[in-house]
C-alpha cells in the first residue's frame, strides 16, 4: 500500500497496517499489486485525481493494510495467515485476498472457518489466473468467496480459473487503478476482480450494519447478474456482482433471513443447489409440477463427443446437452417435469 498516494486514504504510519516480513513495511509497496487493489476498493472520489472507487468517501469506511506478500510478489502461507489474523484482531469485517498458491491446508481451512463462523468476518479471494479447473487456495476454502474475472463484455477472462468453488464474478480485465508514486495503470487478473467484490460488500454492508457476514455473502450471490449457462456455473459462479441489486435485495428482505450451510461455490446458496436424494424434492425455484435437475460433467480430450439427454416415460427427449469444450468442467441446471425420469450419457 502506497500510503503517500494522493488518491488513497492517508493511514496512520504505525497503526494503519502490519507486515509479517522482516525488513519490509506495509506502507511500502514494492510490487504495486496491493496499491492497485486498494484503489478499486477505496480510491478517493471527487478530488480531481486519477480514479474513483466503490467507496470513494474515506470518512465512511476504513482500511487496515496487512502485507500478505513481500515486495517481490511472493510470500509464505504463514505470512498470509499472520496477515489475516492481524486484520481480524484489528476488527476487520471484510478481508480481501488477491493472492493464492499451494494446496489445501487443514490448518488454514480451520482458521479461516473460525474467522468466518465465529468472528463474523467475510473472506474474499481470487479464483486464480491459470485458466484451468484446478482449485486455488485460499479462494477454494468453503468459508471464502472465490472470485472469477470477466471483461467489459461480461465474458469470462481466458486466464480466470473455473471450478465448482467459483462463487461470483467481477471486472478483472484492464482495470484502471492506483499504483505507487502517484501512478495509475490498467491491470488484469482475478486479483483485480476480487477487490470489486470486497468493495461492493463494504458498500452494501455500510447501509445494512445489522446484517451478518453470512447474510451479506448471501445477498451478494442472490442478486448477481446471471452469466453463462443458466444458474450457477463453474465459470462465473452465480454471476456478476451487482451493488445496486444487492442493496435492493436487503432493502426488501432486511437482515432476518436464514442462510445455508457454509460450503462455498455453487452449493453456497440453498435456493440454487440441491443434492440428489432417493426421493427427489422439487427445487425451490421450480413450479410444483417440476423438479430440479443438475448435471456436472468434466470432459476429456474429446469434449465434442460427449452428449446426454433426459427423456420422459414415453421416451420423448425433454432436454439434451452436448458439443462441450474439451478438458473442462461443465455444470448445468434445469427445472424439468416430474415425469422426465431417465438420464442417458
* Gap between the Cα atoms of 154 and 225, Å rounded: 10
pLDDT digits (tens, 9 = 90+) for 111-158: 999 999 999 999 999 999 999 999 999 999 999 999 999 999 999 999
Question: Are the C-beta atoms of residues 13 and 3 closer than 8 Å to each other?
Answer: yes
pLDDT reading at 276 higher than 50: no
Neighbours of 207 (CB within 10 A): 11
Q: What is the mean pLDDT of the chain?
A: 90
pLDDT digits (tens, 9 = 90+) for 173-184: 999 999 999 999
Sheet holding 122-126, edge to edge: 94-97, 122-126, 144-150, 166-171
pLDDT reading at 280 higher than 60: no
Residue with cell 446471471: 226
pLDDT reading at 272 higher than 80: no
* Gap between the Cα atoms of 85 and 209, Å rounded: 22
Question: Are the C-beta atoms of residues 92 and 124 closer than 8 Å to each other?
Answer: no
| pLDDT value of residue 270 | 57
- Beta-carbon contacts of 316 under 8 Å, excluding residues fewer than 6 positions away, are none
Element (H, E) at 35: helix 33-42
Burial of residue 77 (CB within 10 Å: 0-12, 13-18, 19+) is middle
pLDDT reading at 288 higher than 90: no
Which among 66, 78, 81, 57 has a CA at the least distance from the CA of 34?
A: 66
pLDDT digits (tens, 9 = 90+) for 48-104: 989 999 999 999 999 999 999 999 999 999 999 999 999 999 999 999 999 998 889
156-185 core/surface letters (b: 16 or more CB in 10 A; e: else): bbebbbbbbbbbbbbbbbebebbbbeeebe
pLDDT digits (tens, 9 = 90+) for 196-245: 999 999 999 999 999 999 999 999 999 999 998 888 999 999 999 999 99
Burial of residue 115 (CB within 10 Å: 0-12, 13-18, 19+) is buried
* Gap between the Cα atoms of 10 and 2, Å rounded: 9
- Beta-carbon contacts of 302 under 8 Å, excluding residues fewer than 6 positions away, are 326
Give Cα separations from 128 to 132, 248, 253, 290, 294 (angstroms).
Answer: 9, 30, 33, 37, 25
Give Cα separations from 246 to 200, 214, 225 (angstroms).
Answer: 9, 13, 10
Amino acid at each position: 500500500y502506497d500510503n503517500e498516494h494522493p488518491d488513497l486514504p492517508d493511514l496512520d504510519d504505525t497503526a494503519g497496517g502490519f507486515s509479517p516480513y522482516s525488513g519490509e513495511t506495509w506502507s511500502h509497496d514494492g510490487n504495486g499489486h496491493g496499491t492497485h487493489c486498494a484503489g478499486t476498493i477505496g480510491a478517493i472520489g471527487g478530488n480531481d485525481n486519477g480514479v474513483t472507487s466503490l467507496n470513494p468517501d474515506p470518512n465512511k469506511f476504513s482500511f487496515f493494510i496487512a502485507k500478505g506478500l513481500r515486495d517481490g510478489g511472493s510470500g509464505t502461507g504463514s505470512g498470509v495467515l499472520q496477515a489475516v489474523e492481524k486484520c481480524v484482531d484489528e476488527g476487520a469485517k471484510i478481508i480481501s485476498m488477491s493472492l493464492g498458491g499451494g494446496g489445501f491446508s487443514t490448518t488454514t481451512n480451520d482458521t479461516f472457518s473460525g474467522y468466518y463462523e465465529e468472528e463474523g468476518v467475510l473472506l474474499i479471494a481470487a479464483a486464480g489466473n491459470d485458466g484451468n479447473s484446478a482449485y486455488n487456495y485460499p479462494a477454494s476454502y468453503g468459508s471464502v468467496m472465490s472470485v472469477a474475472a470477466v471483461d467489459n463484455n461480461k465474458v469470462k477472462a481466458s486466464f480466470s480459473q473455473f471450478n465448482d468453488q467459483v462463487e461470483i464474478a467481477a471486472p478483472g480485465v484492464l482495470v484502471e487503478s492506483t499504483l505507487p508514486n502517484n501512478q495509475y495503470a490498467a491491470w488484469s487478473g482475478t486479483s483485480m476482480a476480487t477487490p470489486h467484490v470486497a468493495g461492493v460488500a463494504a458498500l452494501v454492508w455500510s447501509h445494512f450494519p445489522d446484517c451478518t457476514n453470512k447474510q451479506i455473502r448471501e445477498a451478494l450471490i442472490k442478486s448477481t447478474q446471471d452469466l453463462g449457462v443458466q444458474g450457477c456455473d463453474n465459470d462465473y459462479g452465480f454471476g456478476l456482482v451487482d451493488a445496486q441489486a444487492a442493496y435492493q435485495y436487503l432493502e426488501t428482505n432486511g437482515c432476518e433471513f436464514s442462510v445455508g450451510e457454509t460450503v462455498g461455490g455453487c452449493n453456497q446458496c440453498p435456493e440454487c443447489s440441491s443434492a440428489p436424494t432417493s426421493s427427489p424434492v422439487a427445487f425451490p425455484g421450480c413450479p410444483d409440477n417440476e423438479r430440479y435437475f443438475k448435471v456436472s460433467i468434466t470432459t476429456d480430450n474429446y469434449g465434442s463427443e460427449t452428449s446426454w439427454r433426459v427423456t420422459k416415460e414415453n421416451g420423448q427427449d425433454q432436454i439434451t446437452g452436448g458439443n462441450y469444450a474439451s478438458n473442462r468442467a461443465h455444470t448445468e441446471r434445469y427445472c424439468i417435469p416430474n415425469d422426465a425420469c431417465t438420464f442417458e450419457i
